[in-house]
Structure 1
Amino acid sequence: MPFCIGISAIFESSRTVHARTFLMAVNHFINHHDTHGLTFRFEDDDASYDGGRRAAQRLLDQGAQVIVGHFSSDAAMGALPLYRAVGVPVLLPAATKQDLLGMEPHAFRLCPSDTGLVTLLARRIRDDIPGARLLVAHDSTDHGESLARALISTLAGSNVRLTLTLEQADAVVYCGRLNNSIRYVNTLLNRRRDLRIYLTDDALSSWFIQNTPPSDTLRIVGLATVDPSQALYETYYLESLAAMQIAATLIHCQDRLDTLRTTLFTTVLGDVRFCDGENRYARAALWKIRNQRFVPSTSA
Structure 2
Amino acid sequence: MSSKVVAFVAPLGTEEAVVAAPMLAAARAAAAAAGRQHGVSVGVVAFDDGRDPVRAASIVGRLGCDPCVVGVIGPKNSGSARAAAPRARAAGLPMVLPAATADDLCALGDGSVFRLCARDRDTAAACAELCVRLGVGRLAVRADETDYGRGLARAVRAAARAARVEVTSAIHDADALFHAMGEVEQAAAIRDAREGGFTGVLLGAEGGPGAPLAGMAGPAGEGAWQLYPGAAVPDAADVYGPESADAATALVAALALAGDRAGMSEALRAASFRGRSGTVAFTPGGERSGAAVSVWRLLDGRCVPAEAESRLPA
Q: 2:281 aligns with which of 273, 287, 296?
A: 273
Distance 2:198 2:238 in 1: 27
Query: Match of 2:47?
Result: 43
Give the partner amino acid of 1:289: L
Give the partner amino acid of 1:115: R
Query: Match of 2:235?
Result: 229
User: Are positions 1:58 and 2:43 aligned together?
Assistant: no
Distance 1:180 1:238 in 2: 24
How far residue 54 of structure 1 moved from its aligned partner, in angstroms, is: 1.3
Query: Match of 1:282?
Result: 291
Q: Match of 1:277, SS?
A: coil
How far residue 70 of structure 1 moved from its aligned partner, in angstroms, is: 0.2
User: Are positions 1:245 and 2:273 aligned together?
Assistant: no
Higher mean displacement: 212-221 or 135-144: 212-221
* 1:168-189 deviation digits (Å, cap 9, x = unpaired): 1111001011110011001111
Higher mean displacement: 196-205 or 97-106: 196-205
The total of aligned residue pairs comes to 297
How far residue 153 of structure 1 moved from its aligned partner, in angstroms, is: 1.4
Give the partner amino acid of 1:48: D
How far residue 216 of structure 1 moved from its aligned partner, in angstroms, is: 4.7
Consecutive unaligned residues in structure 2, runs of 5 or more: none
The answer (yes or no) to whether the contact 2:8–2:45 under 8 Å persists in 1 is yes
How far residue 141 of structure 1 moved from its aligned partner, in angstroms, is: 0.3
Query: Match of 1:12?
Result: 13
The answer (yes or no) to whether the contact 1:45–1:54 under 8 Å persists in 2 is no
The answer (yes or no) to whether the contact 2:74–2:98 under 8 Å persists in 1 is yes
Give the partner amino acid of 1:197: L
Aligned positions of 1:41-120 closer than 5 A = 41-63=45-67, 64-104=69-109, 105-120=111-126
How far residue 224 of structure 1 moved from its aligned partner, in angstroms, is: 4.3
How far residue 39 of structure 1 moved from its aligned partner, in angstroms, is: 3.6
Of all paired residues, the percent bearing the same amino acid is: 22
Distance 1:271 1:206 in 2: 22
Query: Match of 1:291?
Result: 300
Distance 1:180 1:86 in 2: 34
How far residue 127 of structure 1 moved from its aligned partner, in angstroms, is: 2.3
Consecutive unaligned residues in structure 1, runs of 5 or more: none
Aligned positions of 1:164-203 closer than 5 A = 164-201=169-206
Query: Match of 1:146?
Result: 151
* 1:21-69 deviation digits (Å, cap 9, x = unpaired): 2222133235555354324433222222101111112222333221111
Distance 1:144 1:135 in 2: 14
Q: Match of 1:41, SS?
A: strand
Distance 1:253 1:218 in 2: 45
Q: Match of 2:13, SS?
A: coil
* 1:62-118 deviation digits (Å, cap 9, x = unpaired): 332211110000111111101101211111000000111223221100011111111
Distance 1:223 1:99 in 2: 15
The Cα RMSD (Å) is 2.1
How far residue 246 of structure 1 moved from its aligned partner, in angstroms, is: 0.8
How far residue 234 of structure 1 moved from its aligned partner, in angstroms, is: 1.4
**Please, what TM-score do these two structures have when normalized by structure 1?**
0.91
Distance 1:235 1:62 in 2: 30
**Please, what TM-score do these two structures have when normalized by structure 2?**
0.87
